[in-house]
Structure 1
Amino acid sequence: MKKKKILIDINHPAHVHLFKNFIAEMRQKGHLIIIAAKNVKAIKDLLRSYECDYIDMGSKKDQMVAKYFYEFIHVLKLLFVVIAHRIDYGIGVSMALPMVSKVTTMKSFALDDDDLTVTPLFGKAVSLATVILTPHSLAFEDRGKAHICHQSYHELAYLHPKRFKPDPSVLQELGMAPGDTYFILRFNAFKAHHDTAAVGLSLEQKLALVNLLKPYGKLFITTERAIEPELEMFRLPVTPEKIHTLMYHATLFIGDSQTMVSEAALLGTPSVKLNSFAGRLSVPNEIENRYELCYSFLPRDFEAMLQKVSELLAMKDLKNVWRYRQETMLADKIDLTSFLTWFVSNYPHSYAQMKSNTACQYSI
């Protein structure tokens, strides 16, 4: 097998988790991995924790016009990297890599787990990719011949039991033990290009949620941006790479974040989400409706969300029920890292195999 030069474009902290095992396995196979990453503290901290060197792509922007200008510069920087390093393959949840692959010899593998109706601009950019890889939940979308569907979720690249084992030292660091009652709250910043009209939890709602949960156990809050003074006492005091162990053992996970609610749900922790994306995305809808691992509510339904939280707090054997539901989900899904490693290592034969028999992914 010929060794390849592979470029990975990291645009969100979750992408570090998504590709960390892929990076390690592809390097073990002898491939050269180059990482391009946005200058975001959480991204940099995670890459350093996993001892991954990277090329700085600059800081992301909050204002919409500035975002588009940043993406233009991002494309130019990646183009330079691809040419300078003679990159063979580019992979990422990335708008820029597919564009660069259209003007170079690089083949691009674009991962996407959002519906085209919700992220149309991203979808148009991704349509330029050599291969578009999505969860099977999005198989109904017409994405052309380049579309390959896998039976997994992005989060299962790092949270599948083959990849994730809870670290007992994390709970010890907080003076807790498995079985202790505690809750994690996650509050999003909604700064991404597709979040323009997005709405999450207001401060008043956050405080109401805190008051509901406080009598039952400890509270930990994690947030993308500055935390409100009224909530500072609940700030999560551990480094980002430890969050998944805390999620795994938590009694409930509640917030207005997309990715982290899905992560907690797939770890077998009851998860409740309130934001304006509720019910609009096929992947979270499958996790909620088919596997019953989470619940989602629109901002106008905050009282209904509080009622659901109260019901979960009153449920006997809550975590055992969710472990059973998690096992049901895992029986249907594959380890995404193993699939990506196989697919990229064996491309283009892997593409032909998936087109002729999608069931081959279960035997990787």
Structure 2
Amino acid sequence: MKILIDILHPADINFFKNAINVLNKRGVDSTIIMRPRGKMIEILKSELPNMQFTPVGKYYTSTSGKLFGIATRNLNLILFLRKNNFDLCTSYGFFVGIASRFYRTPSVIFADDYEYKSTFYLSKFCGDYFVIPSCILATGKNILKYKGFKELAYLHPNYFKPDRKVLEQYGIAPNNYVFIREVSRASLNYKNMQPMDLPEVIRSLNYSGLDVVLSLEDKTRADSLKDKCIILEEPVDDIFSLMHFALFTISSGDSMARESCLVGTPTIYTGGRDMVINKELIERGCMFKVDNKQQLNTAIENIIENDIKKETMAIIERAIKHEWMDTTEVILDILTAVANKDEAILGKYKSG
């Protein structure tokens, strides 16, 4: 079996990496293409050191640039597929769904961002199979559903084991620091996001006796903050252990907000997006969506005073044990079933 895997975002590396390793052990020929963005090449080399990858396309920040990038990347991908014969194409995005149609190659598209309507429905239309979490109510003949979150492809206990050693590197102690993630507004997802007043937030947390570990997508802000907190340099060794041992996380990025919750750390989400995929974590009391300074301060006080960290760890442990699926197993199940035309396996995931 020969599979093409298209990597569009750094988060896609985590999503597919365990499945890629298993496929390789099974003797499957996996080819990785990627769209360069930020330090994605470095992250790929770190997470999948034994894999080769081919850059296809370019990442643009402006709206017009993004539209141009979509058009040119699709053309490049069509030409790439023409030179290579694949049994199956997969991605966390619509590109391979479009290009593979020219050669009648089956495509499996994964998604979870229902609110990003244009990409969601384009992926649904283009993919032969469209795989989403069961909390998303979309239906269709090509839709497959699973219980849980995409992040459990790498944060399920089958793969993630928190390691205290990472704390020594930064001179911090468990539950005595706050992890903060601030994303760039260059992404269309966050174009309307109001940035946090980071200096004030960090100063307030320091005053409460808490250290701050900061992950910044926009590194131009680093110089003004470097004396007030620990600023991470990507790729970070064992970033999820840093989240796990934090007292809580403040994140404007929705993926990292969910990641923090799923490793047992309560999260204050400041990204401003109302997302179906986040709703379950909010309802369970693991994630707190805030839209202004007052709500942020209230959420911080609540987490500290009511030991929400302990509650979150218990809630997540129960859900993973009894409700949510190992998403890597879902990926492997579906890819293998599509390649082998195994309708019995695919039937387990049919949305009806």
TM exceeding 0.5: yes
Work out which of the residue numbers 18, 21, 26 in structure 2 matches 1:24: 21
Map of 1:362 onto structure 2: none
Local SS of the residue matching 1:183: strand
Return closer, same or farther for 1:105/1:358 CA change in 2, 3 Å cut-off. Answer: closer
Which ranges in structure 1 are unaligned for 5 or more consecutive residues?
360-364
Return closer, same or farther for 1:88/1:241 CA change in 2, 3 Å cut-off. Answer: farther
Work out which of the residue numbers 331, 339, 348 in structure 2 matches 1:340: 331
Map of 2:315 onto structure 1: 325
Q: CA deviation at 1:227?
A: 4.2
Map of 2:171 onto structure 1: 175
Local SS of the residue matching 1:230: coil
Map of 2:71 onto structure 1: 72
Local SS of the residue matching 2:300: helix
Return closer, same or farther for 1:5/1:358 CA change in 2, 3 Å cut-off. Answer: closer
Map of 2:184 onto structure 1: 189
Work out which of the residue numbers 307, 317, 321 in structure 1 matches 2:298: 307
Check the 8 A contact 2:112/2:150 in 1, yes or no.
yes
Give distance in 1, aligned partners of 2:175 and 2:147.
Answer: 34
Matched, 1:220 2:220: no
- Measured against aligned partners, the alpha-carbon deviations of 1:214-252 in whole angstroms (never above 9, x if no partner) come to 132211111112242331232125733421110111111
Local SS of the residue matching 2:135: helix
Return closer, same or farther for 1:122/1:68 CA change in 2, 3 Å cut-off. Answer: farther
Equivalent positions of 1:1-364 (< 5 A) are: 4-50=1-47, 51=49, 52-115=51-114, 117-138=115-136, 140-142=137-139, 144-177=140-173, 179-196=174-191, 198-202=192-196, 205-214=197-206, 215-228=208-221, 229-233=223-227, 234=229, 235-237=231-233, 239-277=235-273, 280-289=274-283, 291-298=284-291, 301-316=292-307, 318-330=308-320, 331-347=322-338, 352-353=343-344, 356-358=347-349
Return closer, same or farther for 1:45/1:121 CA change in 2, 3 Å cut-off. Answer: same
Check the 8 A contact 1:46/1:241 in 2, yes or no.
no
Return closer, same or farther for 1:59/1:348 CA change in 2, 3 Å cut-off. Answer: closer
Q: CA deviation at 1:338?
A: 1.1
- Measured against aligned partners, the alpha-carbon deviations of 1:172-217 in whole angstroms (never above 9, x if no partner) come to 212234x351111110113223444x21324xx2222112211322
Local SS of the residue matching 2:89: strand
Check the 8 A contact 2:94/2:127 in 1, yes or no.
no
TM-score, length basis structure 1: 0.88
| Amino acid aligned to 2:280 | E
Q: CA deviation at 1:106?
A: 1.4
Which ranges in structure 2 are unaligned for 5 or more consecutive residues?
none
Local SS of the residue matching 1:72: helix
Check the 8 A contact 2:112/2:277 in 1, yes or no.
yes
Structural RMSD (CA): 2.0
Query: Which structure exhibits the higher relative contact order, with contacts defined as CA atoms closer than 8 Å and separated by 6 or more residues?
Result: 2
| Amino acid aligned to 2:288 | Y
Q: CA deviation at 1:327?
A: 1.4
Return closer, same or farther for 1:247/1:125 CA change in 2, 3 Å cut-off. Answer: same
Local SS of the residue matching 2:186: coil
Return closer, same or farther for 1:147/1:256 CA change in 2, 3 Å cut-off. Answer: same
Give distance in 2, aligned partners of 1:346 and 1:356.
Answer: 10
Give distance in 2, aligned partners of 1:26 and 1:12.
Answer: 21
Local SS of the residue matching 1:16: helix
